[in-house]
Chains A and B, each alone.
Chain A
């Protein structure tokens, strides 16, 4: 069984977001790039599945769509433990253009379990995983917070409003994962970092694709009015303000 994780290269979650060129483009100056947090959790779970000798997992691959500048993020995934990596040499446009590039790779290279994070922390579209599944005409399960293998059967936990469902499926399928899939992302050890340097990154030429959407510009949210501070000995006053001024309780 082969697992592949689609990885997005995103600004570190602590980045102070700024724009340039009259608010038409994200300012990448000084930005640290990381593996999208949900993708990192998916990778962690995939490695756990592979390490359990009861599971028939033969390899864990990562793939990203991006220019050469995204390779450090792939190296990080290799250092964490992925066996190999694929990069489609394409400047990401909208979600559809990214999903189309991924679909091309996966049509030529079948995998059994295809994992995506439920969203990326830059454009928050929650789109690529579902689009990829439809492009491949494959089943997908979204909001996945658990995956277990039992021989050929895959048991997937999906979060629903106020609960969870357990779903049975067989390969191939697309899993779109959220928090809970793994406890914490794995951190690369020195040995992993050294080994990652020798692991292969296959670079794939992109296909031609038109975006379905574009971004006409960005805006920063308006800053908020100052916080009204109430004395710690006068909690009742706060509760009264919430009732009478905010009318919120």
Chain B
């Protein structure tokens, strides 16, 4: 009845979300008095695989079948199901990122296992298995009870504190059976931006709304994000207008994020926007309207024109960092 954690890799490397998953999986294993197994699909070197032992992985299963070089949801589901069967896993944990969202529901059907997605904390109870998750786009929490023997969980990014341990992980390779006719998707082109902090990974996010007046004013938003090692985001009207790409839209129908610090310039804070950012640890708001709803969600605020405040903000950060 082990806990199985699936983490993808990014060009052979794991990232913070992998460590969060393993930490969370290890905590679950502790609650259930069992062990933590991690499944990695794709080429990852031994040192990188072993690094997951630091977060509580007891065993790491690595699958390097060439047919799995790109993500085919149907094939990945079949492979993970084979590992679940081999390991007799009682819980399967994935990230609630795009990959997890693509695979977890398929796995749920394949294993006839109930799913609680986007959870942010350890289960309240393990019998009956009850985990709280956000519903209505963060406006409420629901206590999800999973009634099946095998349970699938997806963990929201940036929501579980990494815990370092002293354990060593054993590495084991596994050759799944992957029939060729399972894979009907073919990746024909990949476009990747390098060197930019991803919005969903970022600890600090600097965001702009309609109060920024024009896409030409985004230079300072980018400068501040760079200075703070963060990512840039925007509100829905800004992406709808085409001022910024849709990938930056943060809110109910865009990205849901949970950075340590979210700084909003010229965003009034419509309920749909707040749904996407309310899990941030600290929120800073700069807006001309003192009654704007963003100030109800914010920890710190300035009532003022974003275009006036932003350059001063940049200068103050430079000064504090003695640049």
Q: Footprint of B on A, CB under 8 Å?
A: 11, 13-17, 19, 37-38, 94-96, 99, 118-119, 121-131, 133-135, 137-143, 145, 155, 158-170, 173, 176, 179-180, 183-184, 211-221, 224-225, 227-232, 235-236, 238-243, 246, 248-249
Contacts of A179 in B (CB 8 A): 239, 246, 249, 253-254
Instruction: Identify the closest chain A residue to B200 (Cβ).
Output: A161
A241 to B74, CA, bound (A): 49
B316 and A13 form a contact (CB under 8 A)? no
Closest to B186 in A: A168
Cα distance, A95 to B109, chains bound together (Å)? 11
CB <8 Å contact, B299 and A227:
yes
A141 neighbours in B (Cβ, 8 Å): 73, 102, 185
Asked if B240 CB lies within 8 Å of chain A CBs, one says yes
20 A-B pairs, CB-CB below 8 angstroms? Answer: A14-B270, A38-B253, A95-B108, A121-B252, A124-B133, A143-B98, A159-B98, A160-B98, A164-B190, A164-B191, A169-B184, A211-B114, A218-B141, A218-B143, A219-B141, A228-B300, A229-B295, A238-B302, A238-B313, A246-B300
In the complex where A168-B188, A220-B140 touch, is A121 in contact with B253 (Cβ < 8 A)?
Answer: yes
Q: Verify A248–B204 contact, CB threshold 8 A.
A: yes
Q: What residues of B have a CB within 8 angstroms of the CB of A19 in the complex?
A: 140
Having A229-B302, A232-B305, one finds 15 other A-B pairs with CB under 8 Å, namely: A11-B136, A13-B271, A13-B272, A96-B109, A119-B101, A123-B142, A124-B134, A130-B73, A130-B106, A141-B73, A176-B101, A215-B142, A221-B139, A227-B300, A238-B316
| Shortest Cβ gap from B199 to chain A (Å) | 9
* A119 CB, nearest partner CB in chain B, Å: 8
Asked whether A216 lies within 8 Å of B145 as measured between CB atoms, the reply is yes
- B79 CB to nearest A CB, Å: 14
Q: How many residues of B contact A (CB 8 A)?
A: 100
Tell yes or no: B5 within 8 A of A by CB: no
Q: Does chain A have a CB within 8 A of B40?
A: no
Once the chains bind, are A221 and B140 in contact (CB under 8 Å)?
yes
- Please, how many angstroms separate the alpha-carbon atoms of A13 and B239 in the complex? 18
Q: Is B296 an interface residue (CB 8 A)?
A: yes
Q: Mark B126-153, 1 if CB is under 8 A from A, else 0.
A: 0000101111111111111111100000
Report if B88 contacts A (CB, 8 A). Answer: no
| A63 CA to B198 CA, complexed, in Å | 36
Rounded to whole Å, the gap between the CB of B276 and the closest CB of chain A is: 11
Do residues A213 and B281 form an inter-chain contact, with CB atoms below 8 A? no
Chain B, residue nearest A241 (CB): B300
B73→A96 contact, CB < 8 A: no
Closest residue of B by beta carbon distance from A136: B109
Cβ of B195 to closest chain A Cβ, rounded Å: 9
Q: With an 8 A cutoff between CB atoms, is B72 at the interface?
A: yes
- In contact, B105 and A127 (Cβ under 8 angstroms): yes
* Contact between chains at B101 and A130 (CB < 8 Å): yes
A19 to B139, CA, bound (A): 11
Residues of A within 8 A of B319 (CB): 236
Tell me if A145 and B105 are in contact (CB < 8 A): no
Q: Which of B114, B196, B282, B301 contacts A213 (CB 8 A)?
A: B114
Contact A134 B106 (CB under 8 A): yes
Separation of A97 and B18 alpha carbons in the complex (Å)? 31
B231 CB to nearest A CB, Å:
10
From B110, B138, B185, B271, contact of A134 by CB (8 A): B110
Residue from B136, B193, B270, B302 having most chain A Cβ neighbours under 10 A: B136
Instruction: Name A96's closest neighbour in chain B (CB-CB).
Output: B108
Q: Which residues of chain A come closer than 8 Å to B133, judged between CB atoms? A: 124
- Lowest 7 CB-CB distances: which A-B pairs, in order? A130-B105, A232-B304, A212-B114, A142-B102, A163-B192, A134-B109, A166-B189
CA distance A129 to B115 in the complex (A): 14
Closest to B239 in A: A179
Q: Is the CB of A124 within 8 A of B135?
A: yes
